[in-house]
Amino acid sequence: MALGRFSNSQFQRLFGDLISWFGAKGVHTISLAHCPAFHDRIYNNSSNIDLAFATDLKKKCHSMIASTNVDILAPLSIVLSTKFYNSYFINLNQRKGLLESDKILFPQGNSISATVNLISQYMKSLEDFKIDFASGIIRMSKFNPFTGLSKKR
């Protein structure tokens, strides 16, 4: 599913390689999201999200007011959310990714993918994560900003 009208594959193409893009996603370890950004994830994806995690978020983001109450925030990483750490990837491994785009990074079942391998690597090595994060952020700094609603550069 697209996040901000972009899919994960489109972001990967912008970054040029999986590692730079995936490393830059680590910024989620210190970020917050508004209720409307994660509402569909917690109410419509019971098979690929930790049930207790979703239940806790539903207490903050009620189904009837989600689209109108944009003041409700939740951390994108539930562990050490105010420190730059690899907790975002630990959360993904525990099916506690907050955004819709997080669910496709950790496929269901026994399938092994490049993203699963990177999640495991970053969970084990904070240093590897920091190196790939820096590379991804440097690449992202070279992007031209989008202007207008048509997303044209």
Domain boundaries, the chain: 8-140
What pLDDT is stored for residue 139 in this prediction? 82
Give the pLDDT confidence score for residue 127 in this predicted structure.
92
In the numeric block, which tokens belong to residue 148?
A: 């207008």
pLDDT value at residue 1: 32
CATH number corresponding to 8-140: 1.10.420.10
- State the sign of the Cα–Cα–Cα–Cα dihedral 56, 60, 62, 66: negative
Task: Give the model's pLDDT for residue 87.
Answer: 83
Contacts of 28 (CB under 8 A, 6+ apart): 76, 77, 88, 98, 99
Per-residue pLDDT of the chain (153 residues; tens, 9 = 90+): 333 445 556 666 777 777 777 777 777 777 788 888 888 888 886 677 888 988 888 888 877 655 566 678 887 777 655 677 788 888 888 888 888 777 767 665 555 577 788 888 988 998 998 888 888 888 878 777 665 555 554
Question: By the 8 A CB rule, do 92 and 116 touch?
Answer: no
Q: What is the pLDDT of residue 46?
A: 65
Closest CA to 65 of 35, 32, 42: 35
**Mind giving me the DSSP string for 79-101?**
SSTTS-STHHHHHHHTT---SHH
